Each structure stands twice: as structure tokens, then as C-alpha cells.
Amino acid sequence: MQTIRQLPDLRDAVSGFRAAGERVAFVPTMGALHAGHMALVAEAKLAAPRVIVSIFVNPKQFAPGEDLARYPRKEQADSRMLAAAGVDLLWMPPVEVMYPEGHATNIAVTGVSEPLDGAARPGHFDGVATVVAKLFNQVKPDIALFGEKDFQQLAVIRRMVADLDFDIDVRGVPTQRDDDGLALSSRNVYLAPEDRASAVALPRALGVAARAIEKGDDAQAALATARASLEAAGFDVDYVELVDAASLGTPVAGQPRRLLAAARIAGTRLIDNVSVAEPE
Ligand code: PAF
């Protein structure tokens, strides 16, 4: 696996793949890799002969006071995992390569980025859209893979790709979970053992609410029950909402729906989501 930190070297390597007629699948990450990321890499390997992974902890998607400084950084372990998985190229730009002096462009995707995490974390999705657009222009992939755990992020990126005419096939990969159901996340390392034990209330509450809505129970009542069970488990709830899976707005009869939640336990903010089928 080549590890590249400068843009001209990346462009040379990608041109080499292109000259050989090889398609490129891309997995953008912020590192601290876990089995969720490796599932994206496995899908990428199936999708194209060349796989590029980026690791860049993007300061623009963290608000002041969020966990940028303590976000886990595990360069060597990450690099070993990616090499063992058969990744061709690891793109690890320093911050001054990504955002050189004078960088002044911001991408704001309206609509899908506004509710839910967009309301709870103002500016977050501008930071995500801006860095992902830059990564796409740097790597020029044919296919890009994102986890469905960050369901709103995936919707924002799909919107941006359509609106800005990126010729990239964006694919979502199902959330990977621990045995007890907690969605894998780089932030799970922040959880003390007792908080990790309580955190399982998040996927459980979503599962119970989704099943209740699917069997025709009142959705608002099911959401209120989910919120109450999270609070009983020690969570501070940002939101528990049922939305249209494409627009993330009000659910539309007959269209796919998604149940999303964000909540903090002992200061660690966790997000999760599940699909909700039509009532039986
Ligand atoms: O999901 C992430 O790890 C990040 O938001 C991403 C897509 C790599 C952009 O920084």
C-alpha cells in the first residue's frame, strides 16, 4: 500500500490507475478505524480493482467545543489494517494541504442538511460537504462508499453529488454493530464500561419504536416511548425522529421511512438509525 501525503503525488498515482484503465473505489474516513470502516473497504474491493482510503480528521466539521482535539488518532494501527485488507493507496493529507492559507470556499447543501444533526450541530454538514467535495476532486473516484450509520451525512453527500454533477456512484453500506446491537463508531472508545453497557439502550429503543410503528401504532407515541427509555438509561436526547428516507423531511405515505436518533451519554454523543417498513 502506498501512503501519500502530498497532492501532486496523489494525482500521479491516480493517473497511473487511470492510464491502466482501472476504476477506483474510494472510502473517505477520519481514521480510528473499526469493523464498520473495514466493511466499507471490503465493499470497495468488490466494486473496483483499485481502492483508495483517506484519513483526514476534518477540523471544519467540528464546532468549537466539540471533540476535535481528543478525536482518536491511530495512524499506525489504521495503516496496518488497511494494508492487510489490500488497500492500494492511503491518502493522508496534512491540514495545510487540505486547507492551505487563504482557503475560503464553503459548500452548504440546503434542505437535507438542515434538520436533525444539522440543527443540533450548526455548520457540521457544511464542513462535511466541503471536505468531501475536495476529496472527490483530489481522488477522482468512480465509486465512493459511506456508512449508513451517518444516514444524514449520506443524504447530504448524495444531494451534493447530484447538484454539483460529480460523476461518482455513491453507495451506502449498512451499519456494522457490536454483538449487543450498538452501532460501531470511533467515538465508542470515549465510553467508560458502565456507559458502554447503558449505550445499548439506543439501538434497543430504535428497534422497539420501529417495530411498533411498523405494526401500526401511533408514531408520535412510539417516538415518545423511545425518548423516555433513552432518558431512563441516562441519555440526554437531542432528537428521536421518523422522517422520509430521501428528503429527511416529513414521512410520505408509501415512501421509505427512517427512524433516526442522537443522544449523549456521559458527554459522548451517539447517533443511530434504522429503516421503518410500511405498517403491516
Ligand atoms: O464519516 C466520516 O468519517 C467523515 O464525516 C468524512 C465523510 C470522512 C468527512 O470528513
Whole-number Å distance between alpha carbons of 66 and 54: 22
CB atoms under 10 Å from CB of 271, counted, come to: 22
What pLDDT, on the 0 to 100 scale, is given for residue 280? Answer: 64
Contact in structure between 109 and 125 (CB atoms under 8 Å): yes
Atom 8 (ligand 1) nearest CA = 29
Task: Give, in degrees to the nearest 5, the angle at Cα 98 between 95 and 100.
Answer: 85
Beta strands in 115-222 (DSSP E): 143-147, 169-173
Question: Counting atoms of ligand 1 from 1, which one is nearest the CA of 30?
Answer: 3
| Helix-, strand-, coil-residue percentages of the chain, each rounded to 5 | 40, 20, 35
- For the chain, the domain total comes to 2
Residue 29 Cβ < 6 Å to ligand 1: yes
Question: Counting atoms of ligand 1 from 1, which one is nearest the CA of 132?
Answer: 9
- Same domain, yes or no: 136 and 211: no
Atom 5 (ligand 1) nearest CA = 128
- Same domain, yes or no: 60 and 92: yes
Q: Which residues pair with 276 in a beta bridge?
A: 257
* Catalytic residue set: 37
Cell output for 245: 428516507
User: Which segments are annotated as binding site for ATP?
Assistant: 30-37, 147-150, 184-187
Domain around 247: 186-273
- Same domain, yes or no: 17 and 81: yes
- Domain end (from 173, 206, 237): 173
Contact in structure between 201 and 169 (CB atoms under 8 Å): no
C-alpha 85 – ligand 1 centre gap (Å) = 20
**Which CATH number covers residue 66?**
3.40.50.620
- Same domain, yes or no: 90 and 202: no
Whole-number Å distance between alpha carbons of 70 and 68: 6
- Same domain, yes or no: 156 and 224: no
- Same domain, yes or no: 74 and 202: no
Grid cell 438509561 is found at 233
Pick the closest to residue 33 from 69, 85, 89, 93 (CA basis): 85
- Same domain, yes or no: 110 and 209: no
User: Which segments are annotated as binding site for beta-alanine?
Assistant: 61
Contact in structure between 122 and 97 (CB atoms under 8 Å): no
One digit per residue, the tens of pLDDT, for the chain of length 280 reads 999 999 999 999 999 999 999 999 999 999 999 999 999 999 999 999 999 999 999 999 999 999 999 999 999 999 999 999 999 999 999 999 999 999 999 999 999 999 999 999 999 999 999 999 999 999 999 999 999 999 999 999 999 999 999 999 999 999 999 999 999 999 999 999 999 999 999 999 999 999 999 999 999 999 999 999 999 999 999 999 999 999 999 999 999 999 999 999 999 999 999 999 987 6
- Same domain, yes or no: 222 and 151: no
Residue 61 Cβ < 6 Å to ligand 1: yes
C-alpha 188 – ligand 1 centre gap (Å) = 16
- Same domain, yes or no: 130 and 208: no
- Domain end (from 133, 151, 173): 173
- Same domain, yes or no: 144 and 200: no
- Same domain, yes or no: 163 and 231: no
Question: Counting atoms of ligand 1 from 1, which one is nearest the CA of 29?
Answer: 8
- Domain end (from 146, 173, 200): 173
Residue 93 Cβ < 6 Å to ligand 1: no
Atom 3 (ligand 1) nearest CA = 29
Residue partners of 163: CB distance under 8 A and separation at least 6:
109
Question: Counting atoms of ligand 1 from 1, which one is nearest the CA of 157?
Answer: 7
The reply to whether 42 falls in a domain is yes
Residue 58 Cβ < 6 Å to ligand 1: yes
Residue 27 Cβ < 6 Å to ligand 1: no
